């Protein structure tokens, strides 16, 4: 008999939501047969059977959040005993999934009164909702003063919310913002547009390129903080936040510090498109050593990006604004771009973080020299 475990798609992933079953108990499956689908805060993934046999038992229900590396189902020969297999989503109360428990607490209902309909006699979310609805039917209907619609969060949105909250709770985050004169990168962009090979290179690509080079001199920002160990990467695996319409995904450009500007630009676009279309492989969604989040296209002038733990740094890229400065006794305007660096104060102090930001700004102000 084989026990199928919830896979771990990334080092920081502690659980995943089982979104759909593709088999039922008693089904005969072959190796490669799709068993179930899962979602994390970063990706969706189908889990396939590695063996042939009969599905003996399902240990989780659709919608359950299941800890990684714990049993989800068992496949073997008919009649094999699976009674000793653990049910991974049970808590200490002996029969309610964590998601159902949290919903019961939110709605203020007593889960003990719920009728369990989940696997192994477990109380799941639908049972709590049914209990809530039963109670609502016993109350007089009150018409609200203002109409509203309750829209349940998607599984991806729920996990993103969980990860963001955990990041803010478990790290010591601080954000510095500095700006630089964007005249040089704007000039480079104008020249690139006239070159068929480089016409697709964007201002965001140029920032990625400068970040990948600058980080090499600041190892504490190109690292993971793992309890009392700082894991410093020899090269830069640059994670780039991408809006997919379904939620935030962060694909990784591995070896970005060894790529040319054109190579880096092409890889960034390919990964972003893969995330939007849903065709991206789970592998590039983990393993980043530093993250860049660009909101400049939305006109954002400054923001506080949240760390993608266990990474120690994330850079927010803002829009270009017009500023004024004194030049030989007269006031002149210039284009300025602001950069917002959030870092984990447990891993490094404000001075080296500020030096990174200062060096990055100088490199971007002299971008033409960087790509010679």
Residue 182, domain member (yes or no): yes
Residue 102, domain member (yes or no): no
Percent with pLDDT over 90 in the chain? 55
Predicted pLDDT of residue 298: 93
For tokens 């070159």, name the residue: 195
Average pLDDT over residues 252-280: 91
Q: Where are the alpha helices (DSSP H) in 108-260?
A: 125-137, 155-170, 183-193, 203-214
Q: Which of 245-249, 307-311, 367-371 has the lowest mean pLDDT?
A: 245-249
The answer to whether residue 138 scores a pLDDT higher than 80 is: no
pLDDT digits (tens, 9 = 90+) for 2-45: 899 988 876 667 778 888 899 999 999 999 999 999 887 667 78
Residue 75, domain member (yes or no): no
Predicted pLDDT of residue 195: 92
10 within 8 A of 285, measured Cβ to Cβ = yes
CA 105 from centre of chain: 27
First to last CA, the chain: 61
Encoding tokens for residue 202?
């964007």
The answer to whether residue 91 scores a pLDDT higher than 50 is: no
β-pair type (223-226, 44-48): unpaired
42 within 8 A of 242, measured Cβ to Cβ = no
Average pLDDT over residues 350-372: 95
The partner residues of 339 in beta bridges, in order of sequence, read 178, 317
Q: Say how many residues make up the chain.
A: 372
**CA 216, CA 211: separation in Å to the nearest integer?**
9
256 within 8 A of 238, measured Cβ to Cβ = yes
Average pLDDT over residues 265-269: 94
Percent with pLDDT over 70 in the chain? 91
**CA 39, CA 97: separation in Å to the nearest integer?**
17
Residue 237, domain member (yes or no): yes
Higher pLDDT, 134 or 272: 272
Residue 354, domain member (yes or no): yes
Predicted pLDDT of residue 126: 83
The answer to whether residue 308 scores a pLDDT higher than 80 is: yes
Phi, psi of 368 (to 5 degrees): -60, -35
Q: How many helices (H) and strands (E) does the chain have?
A: 8, 18
* Residue range of the domain that includes 294: 171-370
Predicted pLDDT of residue 90: 40
Predicted pLDDT of residue 70: 87
What confidence tier does 291 reach under pLDDT thresholds 50, 70, 90? Answer: very high
The answer to whether residue 201 scores a pLDDT higher than 70 is: yes
pLDDT digits (tens, 9 = 90+) for 169-182: 999 999 999 999 99
Number of domains in the chain: 1
Indicate which CATH number applies to the domain containing 178.
Answer: 3.30.559.10
**CA 50, CA 185: separation in Å to the nearest integer?**
51
The answer to whether residue 93 scores a pLDDT higher than 50 is: no
β-pair type (290-294, 238-240): parallel
What confidence tier does 83 reach under pLDDT thresholds 50, 70, 90? Answer: low
Predicted pLDDT of residue 87: 46
Residue 299, domain member (yes or no): yes
pLDDT digits (tens, 9 = 90+) for 317-349: 999 999 999 988 899 999 999 999 999 999 999
What confidence tier does 280 reach under pLDDT thresholds 50, 70, 90? Answer: confident
3-state secondary structure 82-130: CCCCCCCCCCCCCCECHHHHHHHHHHCCCHHHCCCCCHHHCECHHHHHH
Residue 135, domain member (yes or no): no
State the average pLDDT for the chain: 87
**12 contact partners, CB below 8 Å, separation of at least 6:** 163, 286, 308, 309, 310
pLDDT digits (tens, 9 = 90+) for 142-199: 556 678 888 888 877 888 888 889 899 999 999 999 999 999 999 999 999 999 999 9
Higher pLDDT, 79 or 295: 295
DSSP 7-22: P--STT--EEEEEEES
Average pLDDT over residues 291-307: 95
Residue 244, domain member (yes or no): yes
Predicted pLDDT of residue 94: 45
- State whether residue 86 is helix, strand or coil: coil
């Amino acid at each position: 008999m084989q026990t199928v475990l919830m896979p771990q798609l990334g080092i920081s992933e502690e659980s995943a939501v089982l979104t759909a079953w593709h088999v039922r108990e008693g089904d005969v499956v072959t190796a490669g047969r799709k068993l179930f689908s899962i979602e994390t805060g970063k990706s969706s993934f189908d889990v396939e059977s590695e063996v042939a046999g009969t599905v003996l038992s399902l240990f989780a229900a659709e919608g359950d959040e299941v800890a990684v590396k714990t049993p989800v189902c068992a496949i073997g020969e008919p009649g094999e005993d699976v009674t000793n297999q653990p049910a991974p989503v049970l808590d200490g109360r002996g029969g309610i999934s964590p998601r159902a428990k949290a919903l019961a607490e939110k709605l203020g209902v007593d889960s003990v009164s719920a009728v369990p309909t989940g696997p192994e006699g477990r109380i799941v979310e639908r049972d709590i909702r049914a209990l809530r609805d039963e109670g609502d039917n016993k109350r007089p209907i009150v018409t609200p003063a203002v109409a509203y619609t309750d829209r349940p969060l998607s599984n991806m949105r729920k996990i993103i919310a969980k990860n963001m909250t955990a990041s803010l709770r478990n790290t010591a985050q601080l954000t510095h913002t500095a700006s630089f004169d964007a005249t040089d990168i704007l000039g480079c962009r104008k020249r690139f547009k006239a070159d068929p090979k480089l016409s697709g290179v964007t201002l965001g690509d140029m920032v990625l390129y400068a970040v990948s080079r600058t980080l090499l001199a600041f190892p504490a920002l190109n690292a993971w903080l793992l309890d009392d160990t700082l894991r410093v990467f020899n090269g830069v695996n640059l994670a780039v936040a991408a809006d997919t319409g379904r939620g935030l995904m962060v694909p990784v450009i591995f070896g970005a510090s060894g790529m040319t500007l054109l190579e880096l630009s092409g890889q960034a676009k390919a990964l972003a498109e893969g995330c939007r279309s849903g065709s991206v492989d789970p592998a590039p969604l983990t393993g980043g050593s530093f993250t860049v989040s660009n909101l400049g296209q939305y006109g954002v002038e400054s923001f506080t990006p949240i760390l993608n733990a266990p990474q120690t740094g994330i850079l927010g890229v803002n829009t270009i604004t017009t500023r004024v400065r004194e030049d030989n006794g007269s006031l002149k305007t210039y284009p300025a771009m602001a950069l917002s660096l959030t870092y984990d104060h447990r891993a490094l102090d404000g001075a080296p973080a500020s030096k990174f930001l200062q060096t990055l700004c100088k490199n971007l102000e002299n971008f033409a020299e960087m790509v010679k």
